[in-house]
Structure formats: structure tokens, C-alpha cells
Structure 1
Amino acid sequence: MFALATLCCLLWGSAFPAVKNGYAALGVGQGDTGSQILFAGYRFVIAGSVLLGAALVTRRPVLSLTRRRFGEVALLGLVQTTVQYVFFYVGLAHATGVKSSIMNATGVFFSVALAHVVYADDRLNRGRALGCLIGFLGVVVVNLGGSGKLDFEFSLLGEGFIVIAAFILAAGSMYGKRLSRDMDAMVMTGWQLFMGGALLTIGGFAAGGRLVGFDLRADGLLLYLGLLSAVAFGLWSLLLKHHPVGLIAAFNFLVPVLGVTLSAVFLGESLARWSYLAALLLVSVGILLVTRPARAKRIESPPQP
């Protein structure tokens, strides 16, 4: 169980450098929003296809969605895949992998706040509130410049879009949780990734996006990104089925840790800044506080880099 949960977090953490390396391999510029969205679309069409194929092989009800269910899953795909990843992929193009890994973790804290409003039996307590405060303090710290001021190192298109994507994921996860109560989780996830990816692909082409220069490296990165989403989601759903949600959710703190480490290794980004290391520590402590077993109902959906 511990090995599989760690593997999921490793896969999600590796998405940050993989996406940025994919941009470089395909010549996707920082301001080329259409191509960034198109790249995301290809990834999630692959991921959704892999999950749906696996669901068919295991004889799950892939093709038995009613018209109402199809509409609900399409809405989930629009919010949780299409809209979220427009912000995520554009944000990642304008921010470093290290900072994006840390700021993406705000999704856990947004889940806490939203669940407090939505669920009468899932309120904030002192420990969870403290975890949120510590986590958001980490987000402030990571944007401090060398002079110790909150300044030009934060941009709306970069760090801002990463935080917006995290909020959309937290909100969409609550809707997905409701749908999964009487739907097969693999089928639901496969369809929402596929439909959301298809909308991203159409939107990317409509915005003038083009992906050129496909070679073995670029193909491998795109295939890896699609497979990591499919494998991580499949394993996470399996873990949630057989183990307490609160126990599995505690592994969420590994995603920013691994994302930061892998970005430093594969992108050559420096970690030699007190603000990065302090922010990583604060965010990890905050996530550990809010993902205690009492919070099991809130973290049924994993982070989605």
C-alpha cells in the first residue's frame, strides 16, 4: 500500500518537469497559449483512452451511461479537466517547475475551506485551520524575492494561474465525489479525462495551436504524461477502495516534495534559496495537519498535475 501510494505521488510530481520538457521538445513558447492547450488536450485524450480501454478489458460498464449520466460526466470533464488545465498549462509555462509544485498544493487547503461550507458534518477545527494557515504562509514565502519582499516574482499568468487551477480542481472534486457514489470510478474518470481532453484539443486548434517537431523524445514525453495520469488515477482509486481515505490522503504532502525535487533534477532549477526550502516545509506541514484521519471525507480526489 505504501509503495503504491508513493508511486502515485511520484508520478504526479514528475508531471511538472515532464510538461516543461515537452514544451521545449515541441517548441512551445511561453506566450503560445493555443499550443499549450493543444498539448494538454493530447495528453488527456491519451489518459482517458487508456483508462476506458482498461475498464472495457475488466468488463466495467463503459458504454452504459444514460443521457443524464453522460451530461454529468461531460460537465465534470469540462470543469475538472478542460478549464482546470487551461489555467494549469498556461501557468506552468510562466512559472518555474519548483514554484508550481509548491503552489499547486494549495488545492488541499481549498478543499478544506470548501468542504467547511458545503458539508455540515465536515467543519474546520483548530488543527485543520492551523494547517491551512501554515500552508498558505508557505505560498507567501515562496514568492518572496531575495530582498525579502513580496514583489515581482508573482505573476497572474504564472503563479496566479496555478493557484486558480488548484481551486477549480478542489471545487470540481466535490462534484466528482457526488457522481462517484453510484458510478464506477474508473469509468467516470476515464470519460471525464477523455471528454475534457477532447475539448482542450478542439480549443487548442481553435486558438491557433500547433505542435511540430515530433520525434522520439517528444513522443515519449507525451505518451508518458498520458500514461502517468491513467496509472496514477487507477492506482489511487484502487487504494481508496481498500484502505481508509484519511490514511491514503496523508501521502498528498509527497507531491510538492517530489515535484520540487524532480524539477530541480530534470529542469536544472535551483533549490538554493531559503524561500523555496522554507515554503516547501510549511506547505508539507500544512498538508499533514489537514489530512489527518478525521478529514477523510474531504480528500477523496487526488491532486492532478
Structure 2
Amino acid sequence: MPLSHRLIATLVALIWGVNFVAIHASLTHFPPFFLVALRFALIAVPTIVLVPRPDVPVKWLLGYGIGFGTLQFLFLYWGMATGMPAGLASLVLQASAPFTVVLAAAFLHERVSGRAVVGTSVAVVGLAIIGWGVMGGTTLIPFLLTLAGALGWSIGNICSRQAKPTNPVHLTLWMSVIPPLPMLALSLVTEGPHRIVQSLAGALSMDAAGALAGLVYTVVVATVVGSGAWTWLLSRHPAGVVSPFSMLVPGFGIASSWIVLGERVTGTEIAGALLVVAGVVFGSTHHTPRRVDADPPVPASTGPRPDEVVDVSCRDLAQ
């Protein structure tokens, strides 16, 4: 990968890391469940009008939308609204990687390599350390909610893998059609029509400027620009070359939360974070044996196989 492309990949990780600060800003004005519905509705409307529906079984499209779009962001936004620090949230969501390994082995009967088992175990230990570190404070419940969001992400990963779309971008965009209605219904029941109307009525006021800017950043910058650049990189390089850059997201998330929001992390949380990232990186990399036959190597320009793109593109709307 040339230096310019590495810089683009790093920029995408930065965009997605800062997105947790943007979500925090949006939650200062909009109720969390309604914010999830609003976020995806702003993507779903142009998608229905302009983007062809992906040629995949409806059940896997629904599963992807429910797991990745609905459950992940329901619990993430709920957790952050009840006190989960933005930087720590960007890290805990990485639990989706070990969750995906376990679900794939249980339901898809995929073989799990020894390296993946070790990496998953290390990541789980890191999460346990983080959980132990926050157990004495007020962030345990938000931590568990965010962890549930990571589980939702992993469910979406399994469904997208089973969908096997020829165009992963179309699947990712059409996934956004699923969350708005159930999240709006949940918001009406739990948050109430008055709070929804109040948040919309004051959305253009100066007091809500930061929240509105955060929403625009999440939809336009993190989703359209970030996901578009990520997909562009995946079309030009193997997935195994591009995907490790996503491990930079928690670092940027924690750093931006410290700079913008003044969040602090304890030594225990840092130790757990290092184990989580190390475990995910170790478990997601593999050694590819050298070819011993006479077949010519596949040109780099052909890009990754469709199934490789699916696995990684699941991160496209994660932040």
C-alpha cells in the first residue's frame, strides 16, 4: 500500500474515532433512541430513492439491519446517554471482534485457529479488566450496555457474511432502512412524543448547534466520507492490508475525548485497553503460506475477494 493510501486509511480511523465525540454532542440535545432513528432515517431516505436494493436474501438484510444497525446503536447510544465515556465506548465496541469469532464458530461452524483463540482470550481478559476497573463507579451499567452494542455488531457481522452481497456498499446503505421505524416506535413508548417534538423544535436553536453539528458529522463525515474512503481502499488492496487500520479507532477516540471533553482514563482501563487491542490485532492477523505451485500470483489490482470485503465492510458504519 503506498504512503498516500496509508494516510487515507489513518484519516478514516481518525474520522471514526472523533465520531464518538460527535455522538456525545448529539446526545446533549436529542433523546438516544430517537437519535438512532433520526440518524438512520437521514441515510435511509436517499438510499431508497437512489440506491438499488442489494440482491441478497431478505432475511440476511433484516438480520444485518437488526443486529448491526438497530441493536448496536440502541445499546451504544443508550450506554453513552447514561454515562459511558465516549473514548471508552470507542474501545469497548472492539469486543465485536471476539464476539464474532464465537458466534461464527457456534452458528456457522467455522474453524477457529489457535491464533484466533489466543487473541480472543486476551481481548476478553482486557474487557474483564476494564469492567473491573469501572465496577466501583457509576459507569458499570453503561459499560454493559455498550458491550451489548458490540454483541449486536457481531450479530450483524454474521448476517452480512451469510448475505454474500456482490456490492457490499449497497448492503451497508440498505441496512440503514431497517432501524428507523423500530427505533422510532421504541422512542415513542419510552421517551414520549413530547420529548421528541421538543428536540426537533429546538434543533435549529443556538443551544442545539453542537448537537446538530454532531449529527451532521455522524451522517455525512463518518458515514458518507469515512465509509466511502474505506470502501475505496478495499477495492484497491487486500482486506488483510486495510483492516488493521481500524484498530487505530479507539486510540483516536480516547485521544479526541480527552482533548475535547476532558475525559480521563485510569491506569487499569489503559491496561485493559492495551490487552483488547493487542488481542484483536493478534487474532485477526494470520500467516499465509507461500505458494509452491507454478500458478502465477494474483495481481494486486484485482483487490480482495467479495467475502473478504464483506467481513471488513461491517465496520463501515460502526462509528
Taking structure 2 as the reference length, the TM-score comes to: 0.78
* Equivalent residue, structure 1, for 2:282: 289
CA-atom RMSD in angstroms: 2.8
- Tell me the equivalent position of 1:41: 37
What CA distance in whole angstroms lies between the structure 1 residues aligned with 2:43 and 2:149? 19
Gaps (5+ residues) in structure 1?
A: 29-34, 57-61
Shift of 1:160: 0.5
Higher-Rg member (1/2): 2
Per-residue deviation, 1:165: 0.9
Among 167, 170, 174, the residue aligned to 1:184: 167
Offset at residue 78 of structure 1 (A): 2.5
Is 1:23 the counterpart of 2:27? The answer is yes
Task: Work out which of the residue numbers 254, 261, 273 in structure 1 matches 2:248.
Answer: 254
Deviant stretches of 4+, over 6 Å: none
CA deviations over 1:8-37 (Å, ceiling 9, x no partner): 22222122211111222x1x5xxxxxx211
Match of 1:275 in 2: 268
Which residue of 170, 177, 189 maps to 2:154?
170
Query: How far apart in 2 are the matches of 1:291 and 1:51?
Result: 32
- Post-superposition Cα deviations, 1:55-97, rounded to whole Å, max 9, x if no partner, equal x4xxxxx34567x845642442223212221111101122112
Q: Distance in 2 between matches of 1:90 and 1:64?
A: 30
Give the secondary structure class of the aligned counterpart of 1:195. coil
Structure 1 239/247 Cα, relative in aligned 2: closer, same or farther at 3 Å? same
Shift of 1:98: 2.7
- Asked if 2 retains the 8 angstrom alpha-carbon contact of 1:52 and 1:186, the reply is no
Give yes or no for contact 1:140–1:150 (8 Å, CA) kept in 2.
Answer: no
Distance in 1 between residues matched to 2:269 and 2:169, nearest whole Å: 36
- Residue equivalent to 2:121: 133
Q: Does 1:87 align with 2:75?
A: yes
CA deviation vs aligned residue, 1:90-145 (integer Å, no higher than 9, x gap) = 011221123222211111111222233345554131x2222222212221222344
Aligned residue for 1:302? 315
**What is the deviation of 1:282?**
1.5
Matches of 2:94 and 2:224, distance apart in 1: 20
The letter of the residue matching 1:222 is L
Distance in 2 (alpha carbons) for counterparts of 1:233 and 1:52:
18
Shift of 1:262: 1.2
Query: Per-residue deviation at 1:289?
Result: 0.2
Deviation at 1:49, TM superposition (A): 4.4
Give SS of 1:243's match: coil
Distance in 1 between the 2:123 and 2:23 partners? 25
Structure 2 equivalent of residue 3 of structure 1? 7
Contact 2:25 2:210 in 1 (8 A): no
For 1:52 and 1:11, the matched residues in 2 are separated by 26
In the alignment, the residues of structure 2 paired with residue 242 and residue 267 of structure 1 have an alpha-carbon distance, to the nearest angstrom, of: 36
Of the three residues 172, 176, 180, the one matched with 1:197 is: 180
Question: SS at 2:179's partner residue?
Answer: helix
* 1:78 and 2:66 are equivalent in the alignment: yes
Q: Which moved more, 1:98-107 or 1:287-296?
A: 287-296
> Percent of counterpart pairs with the same letter?
21
**TM-score computed with the length of structure 1 as normaliser:** 0.81
1:219-258 equivalences in 2 (<5 Å): 219-227=212-220, 228-258=222-252
Change (3 A) 1:257 1:250: same
Please, which of 89, 100, 106 is the counterpart of residue 117 of structure 1?
106
Matched residues, number: 282
Secondary structure (helix, strand or coil) at the match of 2:112 reads coil
**d(CA) in 1 for partners of 2:62 and 2:311?**
22
Aligned to 1:59: none
113 and 274 in structure 1: CA distance in 2 versus 1, 3 angstrom threshold: same
Q: Measure the CA separation in 2 of the matches of 1:275 and 1:206.
A: 38
